Amino acid sequence: MRHLLSTGDLSRDEATLVLDTAAELAQVSGRSVKKLPTLRGRTVVNLFYEDSTRTRTSFELAAKRLSADVINFSAKGSSVSKGESLKDTALTLQAMGADGVVVRHPASGAAHRLAGWVDGAVLNAGDGTHEHPTQALLDAYTMRARTGRVEGLRVAVVGDVLHSRVARSNVLLLHTLGAEVTLVAPPTLMPVSVHTWPCAVSYDLDAVLPKTDVVMLLRVQAERMQNAFFPTAREYSRRYGLDRDRLARLPDHAIVMHPGPMVRGMEISAEVADSARSTISEQVANGVSVRMAALYLLLGGS
């Protein structure tokens, strides 16, 4: 594979390879020299059309730990804000000799388009409401690190599935890795064809929680209220938010995940976010290892 655009493109072996590689590379974070020479002389461009400090710095750190030269190219204050098209930007990066382009873009499919315009590897760091493959990979990595496996895990993904690139990437990847995914949301926040996805669907969080090993909460933006996806934040929170009472319905071994940024008090209560069962800060740390693995596997060879 030349690019990482969708978790749907990963076979089980490939996905496992990313996780295994990440597990080895995680050691680097614990060493005094937190750097590997592997991508020395290679150039990685972070092309971010949306603000995302978390994802951008994670990719930046990953690339730097592999000794790549990193160029941050954000849409603000650049030629992009002066109306340059994605294609022209791509051709500019091409001319600069970018070996890898990490792209975050508000338009679904932007990473696919970019892959057609540049010779280097394209890593999708989130495209619109389509996919966010490295997030799903780090989520799977975190599940494996915490529970020892992914296969057979019962994972509930709760929240704005309709607009979530994290949900799409996770459903595809977790299915490939043999987990049993249940999507939980009000029907308005489910895609109309969700019954064709390789997962179960429920509108009742309380019924799902006792049969869940991993509960993954998705951010719910308050502006969805304006479009009548749900009546009020309070009602959403009451029906689908994870608070202490709901946490008690989970099996004792179950973990709570969130891709961040969280809306405390909406989809997750503060005490759940900060509880020992929450993997939220681990997910951030694991993100660097998984992105190192992706960068190495895409850029490290011929």
Partner 1 sequence: MCARKRAESDAEASPAADPTAPGAQTARTVLDGPEIQRALTRIAHEVLERTKGAHDVTLLGIPSRGVPLARRLAERVEQVEGRAVPWGSLDITMYRDDLRLAPARALGRTEIPPQGVDGRVVVLVDDVLFSGRTVRAALDALNDIGRPRAVQLAILVDRGHRELPIRADYVGKNLPTSLRESVDVRLAELDGRDAVLLGPARPRPGEEDDR
Partner 2 sequence: MTHSSAAHLIRGARLTGRDPADILIRDGVIAEVGPGLSAPDARVVEADGLIALPGLVDLHTHLREPGREDAETVASGARAAAAGGYTAVHAMANTDPVADTAGVVEQVWRLGRESGHCDVQPVGAVTRGLAGERLAELGAMAESAAAVRVFSDDGMCVSDPLLMRRALEYVKAFDGVVAQHAQDPRLTEGAQMNEGVVSDRLGLAGWPAVAEEAIIARDCLLTEHVGSRLHVCHVSTKGSVQILRWAKSRGCDVTAEVTPHHLLLTDDLAESYDPIYKVNPPLRTAEDVQALREALADGTIDCVATDHAPHPAEAKETEWATAAMGMLGLETALSIVQHTMVDTGLLDWAGVAERMSAAPARIGRLSGHGRPIAPGEPANVTLYEADTAWEVDPAALASKSANTPYRGMRLPGRVTATFLRGTPTVLDGKIQ
Q: Contact residues for partner 2 (CB under 8 A)?
A: 8, 85-87, 105-110, 112-113, 127-131, 165, 168, 191-194, 196-197
Q: Nearest distance from residue 46's CB to partner 1, in Å? A: 19
Note whether 294 binds partner 1 by CB under 8 A.
Answer: yes
Both tokens of 298, joined, read: 């895409």
The partner in contact with residue 4, picked from partner 1, partner 2, none with C-beta cut-offs of 5 to 8 angstroms by kind, is partner 1
Note whether 83 binds partner 1 by CB under 8 A.
Answer: no
Please state, in angstroms and rounded to a whole number, the distance separating the CA atoms of residues 29 and 266.
33
* 65 annotated binding-site participant: no
Please state, in angstroms and rounded to a whole number, the distance separating the CA atoms of residues 105 and 122.
12
The partner in contact with residue 107, picked from partner 2, partner 1, none with C-beta cut-offs of 5 to 8 angstroms by kind, is partner 2
* 165 annotated binding-site participant: yes
Q: Nearest distance from residue 299's CB to partner 1, in Å? A: 8
Site for partner 1 in 13-72 (CB under 8 A): 14, 17-18, 20-21, 24-25, 27, 31-33, 35-38, 66
- Nearest Cα to 46, choosing from 38, 36, 56, 55? 56
Q: Which residues contact 209 (CB under 8 A, 6 or more apart)?
A: 156, 215, 246, 249, 250
* 260 annotated binding-site participant: yes
126 and 167 Cβ atoms separated by less than 8 Å:
no
Burial 115-147 (b: 16+ CB within 10 A, else e): bebbebbbbbbbbbbbbbbbbbbbbbbbbbbbe
Please state, in angstroms and rounded to a whole number, the distance separating the CA atoms of residues 18 and 23.
9
240 and 158 Cβ atoms separated by less than 8 Å:
yes
Please state, in angstroms and rounded to a whole number, the distance separating the CA atoms of residues 212 and 219.
19
Beta bridge pairs of residue 127 = 105, 131
Q: Nearest distance from residue 263's CB to partner 1, in Å? A: 33
Site string for partner 1, 121-150 (x = CB under 8 A): ------------------------------
The partner in contact with residue 301, picked from partner 2, partner 1, none with C-beta cut-offs of 5 to 8 angstroms by kind, is partner 1
Helical ranges in 66-186 per DSSP H: 86-95, 110-115, 133-147, 165-176
* 232 annotated binding-site participant: no
Q: Which is nearer to partner 1, 123 or 185 (CB)?
A: 123
For the annotated binding site for L-aspartate, the residues are 82, 165, 219
Note the residues at the interface with partner 1 (CB under 8 A): 1, 4, 10, 14, 17-18, 20-21, 24-25, 27, 31-33, 35-38, 66, 294, 296-302
Q: Which segments are annotated as binding site for carbamoyl phosphate?
A: 54-55, 104, 132, 135, 260-261
Binding-site entries: 54-55, 82, 104, 132, 135, 165, 219, 260-261
